[in-house]
């Protein structure tokens, strides 16, 4: 048994334990300059996609990450899974610092953490049938040599995602499945290695809520019944409120507010969260009214505004907001936020 495996065996993580610790995580991308531009600058600009982010993930929870397009959600997901290397900061999964693992150790750890890119139309090879798609991670990990050897696992994960009887679906191709079924296959594939930790990244273009509902319910059941931990990345705050135990709100590479779904939605502390909630439409014609929407669009993460990144769009900007970056502070319960106004209100 390798060192990592030995370490992973040591502690049994219980529901509610901290399963992942993210500390001061940062991911910068270089900004491409023209040759002339690069001669003129000693300090080349960077795009701060994830900027000094810290949080814990608890075992068995569904943690939602919400925010506008381009705020860094996918980059955060890729970095905590080490699908891309961080610029700085630390990520520990079950007390193992994943930034320090060598490639072999990392490959072993991959069994524990999986990602679902929830775009059933793009993330699936149209020439592979369902059993080939689902057994792929098993074959990569060397746990099965052929599709046939993986049959039992494929069958059981298809049952887990309620595609019953599994034999009915195993040799179908993606175009022979509905959108919802394709999503289930994507989930089944992620489950094949029996992971403890799954990141589900949902694109904006994800159309049909009625299809999406199926997969969300499934996620919820798996987290409740098997103690699987989910990080659910979405634009849809309305669904996040019902699915997630906790919600983190991101703006320009930073988490600006975090807490239980109830804390964040019922009592938002950060003006950005308030605006996001206000922009969500209610499916009820007797409660009409689109509340005041934030001005303008999300600024470039290359040259983000000084102080609080929201200050050019915030309806409550004070002088200090332009000068100093607000600290990410704990308020009541587990509710955290980074806003000078919230801090002042607390006194």
Partner 1 sequence: MALLEVRDLKMYYRTLRGHVRAVDSVSFDIERGKALGIAGESGCGKSSMAAAVLRLLPANGEYHGGTIVMDGEDVLHMPEEKFRQNVRWSKMSMVFQGAMNALNPVHRVGEQIVEAILQHEEIPREKAVERAEGLLDLVGINPKRFGEYPHEFSGGMKQRAVIAMSLACHPSLIIADEPTTALDVMVQAQILKAMAELRAELALSMMLITHDLSVIAQTCDSIAVMYAGKIVEYGSVYDVYGNPVHPYAMGLVESFPNIHAERSAVRSLPGFPPNLLAPPPGCRFHPRCPLADEECMTEEPVLREVAKPGHMAACHKAEIVQQGVGIWER
Ligand X SMILES: Nc1ncnc2c1ncn2[C@@H]1O[C@H](COP(=O)(O)OP(=O)(O)OP(=O)(O)O)[C@@H](O)[C@H]1O
CB of 93 to ligand SF4, least distance (A): 32
Nearest-angstrom CA–CA distance, 112 and 211: 27
- In terms of Cα–Cα distance, which of 311, 303, 333 is closest to 256? 311
Q: Is 71 in the site for ligand X (CB under 6 A)?
A: yes
> 86 vs 339, which CB is nearer to ligand SF4?
339
- In terms of Cα–Cα distance, which of 216, 253, 258, 205 is closest to 238? 216
User: Residue 213: what are its φ and ψ, rounded to 5°?
Assistant: -55, -40
Residues 289-308 that bind partner 1 (CB under 8 A): 290, 293-294, 297
Pairing type for strands 246-251 and 254-260 reads antiparallel
x/- mask, ligand SF4, residues 214-253, rule CB under 6 A, reads ----------------------------------------
CB of 124 to partner 1, least distance (A): 16
Nearest-angstrom CA–CA distance, 70 and 252: 8
Q: Is 240 in the site for ligand X (CB under 6 A)?
A: no
Identify the residue among 233, 252, 314, 335 touching ligand SF4 (CB under 6 A): 314
Specify the DSSP class assigned to residue 175.
G
Residues 1-40 that bind ligand X (CB under 6 A): 29
Identify the residue among 45, 180, 227, 299 touching partner 1 (CB under 8 A): 180
Write the CB contacts of 232 (distance below 8 Å, at least 6 apart in sequence): 62, 63, 64, 65, 200, 202, 219, 240, 243, 244
Q: Are 307 and 324 in contact (CB under 8 A)?
A: yes
CB of 212 to ligand SF4, least distance (A): 23
Q: Is 120 in the site for ligand X (CB under 6 A)?
A: no
Q: Three-state SS for 86?
A: coil
Pairing type for strands 254-260 and 329-330 reads unpaired
Identify the residue among 22, 47, 190, 222 touching ligand X (CB under 6 A): 47
x/- mask, ligand SF4, residues 264-303, rule CB under 6 A, reads ------xx--------------------------------
Q: Is 212 in the site for ligand X (CB under 6 A)?
A: no
CB of 252 to Mg ion, least distance (A): 14
CB of 81 to ligand X, least distance (A): 13
Q: Is 340 in the site for ligand SF4 (CB under 6 A)?
A: yes
Place of tokens 């600006």: 256
Number of other residues whose CB lies within 10 A of the CB of residue 236: 19
3-state helix, strand, coil in the chain (%, to 5): 35, 20, 40
Interface positions with ligand X (CB under 6 A): 29, 47, 49, 67, 69-75, 203-204, 207, 301
């Amino acid at each position: 048994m390798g060192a990592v495996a030995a370490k992973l065996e040591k502690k049994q993580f219980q529901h509610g334990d901290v399963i992942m610790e993210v500390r001061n995580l940062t991911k910068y991308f270089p900004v491409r300059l023209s040759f002339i531009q690069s001669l003129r600058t000693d300090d080349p600009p960077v795009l701060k996609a994830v900027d000094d982010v810290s949080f814990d993930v608890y075992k068995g929870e569904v943690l939602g990450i919400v925010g506008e397009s381009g705020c860094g959600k996918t980059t955060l997901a890729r970095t905590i899974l080490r699908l891309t290397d961080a610029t700085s900061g630390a990520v520990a999964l079950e007390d193992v610092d994943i930034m320090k693992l060598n490639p072999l150790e990392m490959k072993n750890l991959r069994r524990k953490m999986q990602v679902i890119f929830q775009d059933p139309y793009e993330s699936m090879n149209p020439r592979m049938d369902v059993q080939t798609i689902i057994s792929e991670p098993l074959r990569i990990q060397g746990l099965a040599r052929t599709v046939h050897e993986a049959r039992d696992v494929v069958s059981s994960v298809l049952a887990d995602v309620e595609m019953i009887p599994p034999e009915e679906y195993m040799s179908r191709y993606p175009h022979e499945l509905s959108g919802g079924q394709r999503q289930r296959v994507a989930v089944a594939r992620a489950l094949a290695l029996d992971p403890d930790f799954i990141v589900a990244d949902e694109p904006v273009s994800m159309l049909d809520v009625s299809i999406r509902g199926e997969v969300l319910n499934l996620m919820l059941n798996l987290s409740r019944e098997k103690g699987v931990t989910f990080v659910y990345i979405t634009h849809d705050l309305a669904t996040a409120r019902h699915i997630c135990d906790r919600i983190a709100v991101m703006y320009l590479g930073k988490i600006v507010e975090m807490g239980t779904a109830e804390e964040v939605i019922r009592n938002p502390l950060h003006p950005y969260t308030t605006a996001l909630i206000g922009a969500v439409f209610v499916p009820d014609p007797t409660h009409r009214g689109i509340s005041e929407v934030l001005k303008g669009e999300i600024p470039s993460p290359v040259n983000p505004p000084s102080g609080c990144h929201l200050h050019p769009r915030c309806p409550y900007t004070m002088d200090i907001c332009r000068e100093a970056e607000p600290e990410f502070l704990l308020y009541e319960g587990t509710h955290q936020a980074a806003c000078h106004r919230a801090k002042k209100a607390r006194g």
